[in-house]
């Protein structure tokens, strides 16, 4: 009966168990929209513009770029993608170490590229759907140079909106870094631990 204390306790326990089970279920990815993708790139670009025009030293700027990369980029997905087939045979510890080392490496590499934009700016134009993600088009305007495109690929597969690729003047970050990591790994005889150690100094 509904007023039976045993029934009430049992019903309460079942409700708790159901709630716990629902909480444990994997949550679907966010419903990413063109506007949300554009807003992410707007924030990223605003921070980039702030860093390149901050007047800080190169080392300080590169640290800021790494923080920006962690905040707005899907670093684990990028790291696994550029590692390619080697990611499938890597241990969890190796993948974690590679992701951290790659994070610093890519931040320094692209941070120096964005540092060349000092005195200029990046303007965000539009976002459009491409397959399962959005591409956001922006234009870099540097002093004394013709404007050029910077394209951002944004997805919410990680559970929040993050960019996972950048195309600067037609150079695709994922493709070029996958080739670069493959070459570096080959030079080390396929030794992932050596590659991880060396990435920390590149």
Going from N- to C-terminal start, the domains of the chain cover 34-199
Q: Residues 45, 61, 202, CA angle at the centre, nearest 5°?
A: 105
Backbone torsions φ then ψ of 170, nearest 5 degrees: 85, -5
pLDDT reported for residue 119: 76
To the nearest whole number, what is the mean pLDDT of the chain?
84
Q: What pTM does this model have?
A: 0.78
Q: What tokens does 27 get?
A: 């949550």
E strands, the chain, in order: 121-130, 133-141, 148-155, 162-168, 171-172
Average pLDDT over residues 2-21: 38
pLDDT at 8 over 70: no
**Residue 137 contacts residue 151 (beta carbons within 8 Å):** yes
pLDDT at 13 over 70: no
DSSP label of 26 = P
DSSP label of 73 = B
**Residue 150 contacts residue 120 (beta carbons within 8 Å):** no
Whole-angstrom distance, CA of residue 181 vs CA of residue 80:
11
**Residue pLDDT, tens place only, 134-156:** 999 999 888 888 999 999 999 99
Whole-angstrom distance, CA of residue 168 vs CA of residue 174:
11
Q: What tokens does 42 get?
A: 């707007």
pLDDT reported for residue 2: 45
Whole-angstrom distance, CA of residue 148 vs CA of residue 151:
10
Helix/strand/coil for 201: coil
**Residue pLDDT, tens place only, 72-114:** 999 999 999 999 999 999 999 999 999 999 999 999 988 888 8
pLDDT reported for residue 118: 75
Question: In b/e form, how buried is each residue of 149-183, taking b as 16+ CB within 10 angstroms?
Answer: ebbbbbbbeeeebbbbbbbbeeeebbeebbeebee
Q: Which CATH superfamily is domain 34-199 in?
A: Tgt2/MlaC (3.10.450.710)
């Amino acid at each position: 009966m509904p007023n039976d204390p045993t029934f009430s306790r049992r019903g309460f326990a079942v409700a708790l168990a159901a709630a716990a089970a629902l909480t444990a279920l994997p949550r679907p990815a966010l419903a990413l929209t063109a506007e949300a993708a554009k807003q992410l790139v707007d924030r990223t670009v605003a921070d980039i513009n702030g860093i390149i025009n901050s007047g800080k030293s190169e080392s300080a700027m590169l640290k800021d770029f790494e923080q920006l990369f962690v905040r707005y980029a899907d670093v684990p997905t990028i790291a696994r993608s550029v590692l390619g087939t080697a990611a499938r045979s890597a241990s969890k510890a190796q993948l974690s170490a590679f992701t951290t080392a790659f994070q610093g490496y890519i931040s320094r590499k692209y941070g120096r590229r964005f540092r060349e934009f000092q005195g200029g700016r990046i303007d965000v134009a539009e976002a459009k759907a491409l397959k399962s993600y959005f591409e956001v088009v922006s234009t870099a305007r540097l002093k004394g140079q013709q404007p050029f495109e910077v394209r951002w690929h944004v997805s919410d597969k990680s559970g929040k909106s993050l960019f996972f690729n950048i195309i600067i003047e037609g150079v695709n970050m994922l493709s070029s870094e996958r080739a670069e990591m493959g070459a570096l790994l080959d030079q080390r005889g396929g030794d992932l631990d050596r590659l991880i150690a060396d990435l920390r100094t590149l």
